[in-house]
Amino acid sequence: MSSAVLGIAGFRSPRAGFVANRLIADDLPSEHINPEGFAVAAQTIQAWPAYTPSPLHRLSGQARRLGLREVFYKDESARFGLGSFKALGGAYAVYTLLREELQLSDGSLLWTDQETRKSAKAITVCCATDGNHGRSVAWGAELFGASCVIFVHETVSQSRCEAIAAFGAKVSRVKGNYDDSVREAQRQAEANRWYVVSDTSYEGYTDIPCKVMHGYGLMAQEICDQLPEAPSHVIVQAGVGALAASL
């Protein structure tokens, strides 16, 4: 996955003078997606245990085959050991939720202080997923001490379920499609006083998805630091939109 253009202005990178974001900046919903949110997320994640920037590979052979000067590939496969391109967003949203609910002035207590982790364990986060977002939420819950339930629809592979469960989450399979699993996650959260950590926004639910997007923004900051100059094109998969919107 290659990404770098939208959202770069929020990081004040010395290489960020080429920001395409300036074309739409006046129309951005700043109460949701804003430079301050991206900056805080980046600083926070960079302080997590085992953080390291993911590599930006130069694909010289591919560039020659396509008749292009340069092609770069942002490789998220090893980020925090998740094997997922969505490692950042869900985990960051879990972190912000727990820090807010536990009223922590120091977020590092979530992984350094056992009493804080005991308090976090009483909080259950949940979400619906096709695989990648749920893996990030489950990993974040494990890292920060929370309980976690992940809802998957009936066509999600067993291997994806096992990858999520490996981080200590309970995986619950739902009949139907992804939308059915989203509704079931919301229903169970309301019934059990759990917290939904979704990358999908809907009426009355926007704050957490915005935190997810702010977490993804760290990819853009890293790419700004890794690229020698401005890219002419950025290609990123859309999915439900959170990753594409943040980048």
CA dist list (Å): 73 to 32, 100, 114, 244 = 28, 35, 39, 16
75 and 105 fall within a common domain: no
Residue 202 lies in a domain: no
Assess whether 170 and 134 both reside in one domain. yes
Assigned domain for 56 exists:
yes
Give yes or no: 130 in active site.
yes
72 and 138 inside one domain: no
Structural domain includes residue 89: no
Check residue 29 and give its pLDDT.
58
Residue 201 lies in a domain: no
Per-residue confidence (pLDDT) for residue 238, from 0 to 100: 79
pLDDT of 28 reads 53
Task: Please pick, among 75, 113, 130, 180, the residue that the annotation labels catalytic.
Answer: 130
Determine, yes or no, domain membership for 240.
Answer: yes
Distance CA 129, CA 150 (A): 7
Residue 204 lies in a domain: no
* Dist CA 210 CA 208 (whole Å): 5
Residues 112 and 188 in one domain: yes
CATH number at residue 226: 3.40.50.1100
In this structure, the number of other CB atoms found within 10 A of the CB of residue 36 comes to 10
Q: From the first residue on, what is the mean pLDDT of each consecutive set of 10 residues in the chain (247 residues)?
A: 36 38 48 84 97 97 96 95 95 98 98 98 97 97 99 96 97 96 96 96 89 95 91 85 84
Expressed as residue numbers, the domain containing 237 is 8-81+215-246
- Shared domain check, 169 and 225: no
The C-alpha angle 230, 236, 242, rounded to 5 degrees, equals 115
Pull the structure tokens for residue 75.
Answer: 């490789």
181, part of any domain: yes
Considering 26, 74, 75, 86, which one is annotated as catalytic?
86
CA distances from 221 to 103, 147, 164 (A): 28, 31, 27
Task: Check residue 1 and give its pLDDT.
Answer: 43
**pLDDT recorded at residue 3:** 37
Provide the pLDDT for residue 247: 83
Phi, psi of 173 (to 5 degrees): -90, 135
Contacts (Cβ under 8 Å, ≥6 apart) of 242: 89, 199, 200, 209, 212, 213, 216
Contacts of 218 (CB under 8 A, 6+ apart): 38, 41, 42, 45, 46, 88
| DSSP helix/strand/coil, 47 | coil
Q: Who contacts 107 (Cβ-Cβ below 8 Å, separation ≥6)?
A: 44, 95, 99
In the residue annotation, 86 being an active-site residue is answered as: yes
Smallest Cα–Cα separation from 143: which of 210, 79, 208? 79
Q: Tell me how many domains the chain contains.
A: 2
